[in-house]
Structure 1
């Protein structure tokens, strides 16, 4: 049973819920969790899970949930995953901590795309679900927010080291999300009257002393000017030590960082650069696109106007050695870069992306790269020029001088490969994709 992965919908923001609560470990587990799934099934609507995962995946049902929880049960914990097979994508985990540990209920929900929560009705149902959970399972802290905005906020540490963050938790109002539930302890530290008088779309005291606070009617509009002003007002209300103008300026900067930037990459490297933004956190992607738009690779210099004559005794044997080098690269990388079998321009772009994503020049031993990877890559690159552009090898004793003649220029693929493999930055400056397109322009 195949579940829908986030990347299958393209790179988009998502709504993420983090719920921390407690439950009665002395009660029957199924009876204790029934209200959790009652609220989920009544309120999820279009993002309702249809798959439960324990040791294996099953179609969602209460029986499947109980079976999965039993399968995954360990000495002091159990957990299940909830997913969908159709858009919108869902990735959810329900985890229970059991005695001898303090009983604890953690729920994480991510729904993509964030734009799904642009309507008030679905957001109201989501809030109703969280309210039911928080009232039943004594929430200590709950938040639901844009993943991108969460990343920009500094969560979960908010400037603290990890150890301090884990020790203190959310001990003050470091940040306000679209939806928040503050446990009784934090409410009392802020002041219950102050908390209940927060200027926000919804402020509600729950029977167990927690407070539910929703900043804005719809989650998807979190970055709008009006929503940011409301967020700043609520935050400085709960934290009088903060300055409204400073808080609002920071929120506006976060909104600006998420404004879509149209990709306008240099045409020679666009096939390569277009893959890079998705490798960064959602909050960083627009900035990265802007940086890559401004990137201009150096004009390739690995060519000669007049070729050097071959200076090897047995050209056929040397060309066979180039073929062996190239085949070695294919054997080493064919599972990670399947298109390498085809030896096409697209294969070169796939190699560019693979080496960049792996940070290959800086992760692997320099001797291995210089003595094996770079020569093999030079042979493969030269072979692509021969096969796809009608080039002709001119072998030389020094690999860096070995040439492929295309049109009225001779090109130096081994030299290009050596420069390419110097650093992660050099993978951009000396990309295989750009080199191919430059040579292509001189094809007769």
Structure 2
């Protein structure tokens, strides 16, 4: 069974749930945790896990859950994962802390995409699931919300350092999410009467003394103006020390950062920039699209008019060309596993190489002397070979590599100079991309 990872799907938002509660250490573990699975089986509307993963992977069944927990128990801790093999993707994690530590039940789940929760009825089922868990297990704090919006809000640190966040947790109302369960301590901090009078889609006191609060019927609609207004009203009500207009303004700013942006990339670099965007975290994706749509690559300067070409200054022209070919093979040897197309020496292989070097942050992640002595000559030679093979170019050898030229039409190009500029920084990999020089040379070949 191959599970569908949330990372297998295209970069987009997801629904995140975190649940931190407690359970009785006196009862048998299977009996004590059965309500977790009972609620999951009853309310997981269209996203029920079908795979249990502990030390090994099994088809979902309660017996498989108990077996996996038994296998994965390590001292006073046990963990397991729950997944799906079909869309939508599910990544669910169950963690138990056992005596002598205070018994703790931690649940984290991600369902992707968030758009799966556009229907109010499906969202209602999800709320009932969390309500069932929170009614059965005393909860400190639980929430469900857009993963992207949570990231923009600065969760879970909310401006604190890691040590403070770990020590204090969610000790006051830093944020109001689409779905919230505030434990008794938080309720008393705010005031039970104030908590229960919060303007929201649903506010319910649970048997444990916790309060369930849902701001809006649909989780997927969290960024709409109406949903943001409801979220701001609830937050400002629970935190009267905050300014309502400032809270609402911040929420609208986050919505604007997540609003879809139509890509308008430079046509020569669209295949490369689309892949660069796909590497961005989904909450940064739209901003990155806007930035790269506005960005224009600098016109290549690594060329001369053909009538200004430097003449060859080597004794053996053929030996010099073979040397360039050998240098280019060094790049093939370096990249062939990660970039198989490099064997083909095509324009597409240049784009693949551009993306590889950018993804690896190559100018920063490798030693500068290694880059200058080995990578730059190999990249320059490879670029030159692609110009020769695909545009009918011709090497004009020179003793100094940086003076070596490739004649294409009415221009000579300086591939080794381009390679040196290219390897200055991560941004230079885009500003001086191999792909863009090739496309400009292609347009000027006559």
The bucket for the TM-score relative to the shorter chain is: over 0.9
Shift of 1:11: 1.6
SS at match of 1:143: strand
- Large movers: runs of 4+ above 4 Å: none
Aligned to 1:313: 315
Aligned to 2:427: 425
Aligned pairs for 1:96-245 (under 5 A) are: 96-245=96-245
Whole-Å separation in 2 of the counterparts to 1:365 and 1:371: 10
SS at match of 1:35: helix
Deviation readout 1:70-105 (Å, 9 max, x if unpaired): 221111211111111111111111111122322111
Aligned pairs for 1:357-436 (under 5 A) are: 357-436=359-438
Shift of 1:279: 1.8
Whole-Å separation in 1 of the counterparts to 2:62 and 2:375: 54
Deviation readout 1:105-155 (Å, 9 max, x if unpaired): 111111111111111111111001001111111111101000111011111
Listed as ranges, the gaps of 5+ residues in structure 2 are: none
* In the alignment, structure 1 residue 339 sits paired with structure 2 residue 341: yes
Shift of 1:320: 2.2
Aligned to 1:443: 445
Verify the 8 A CA contact 2:411 2:445 in the aligned structure 1: no
Verify the 8 A CA contact 2:138 2:208 in the aligned structure 1: yes
SS at match of 2:46: helix
Whole-Å separation in 2 of the counterparts to 1:101 and 1:318: 72
Shift of 1:438: 0.7
Aligned to 1:82: 82
Whole-Å separation in 2 of the counterparts to 1:52 and 1:17: 18
Verify the 8 A CA contact 2:261 2:286 in the aligned structure 1: yes
Aligned pairs for 1:279-290 (under 5 A) are: 279-290=279-290
SS at match of 1:100: coil
Shift of 1:27: 2.0
Shift of 1:172: 0.6
Whole-Å separation in 2 of the counterparts to 1:409 and 1:310: 16
Shift of 1:435: 0.9
Return the TM-score normalized by structure 2: 0.97
* In the alignment, structure 1 residue 47 sits paired with structure 2 residue 47: yes
Whole-Å separation in 2 of the counterparts to 1:56 and 1:394: 60
SS at match of 1:415: helix
Whole-Å separation in 1 of the counterparts to 2:10 and 2:280: 13
Shift of 1:321: 2.1
Whole-Å separation in 1 of the counterparts to 2:261 and 2:304: 39
Shift of 1:7: 4.1
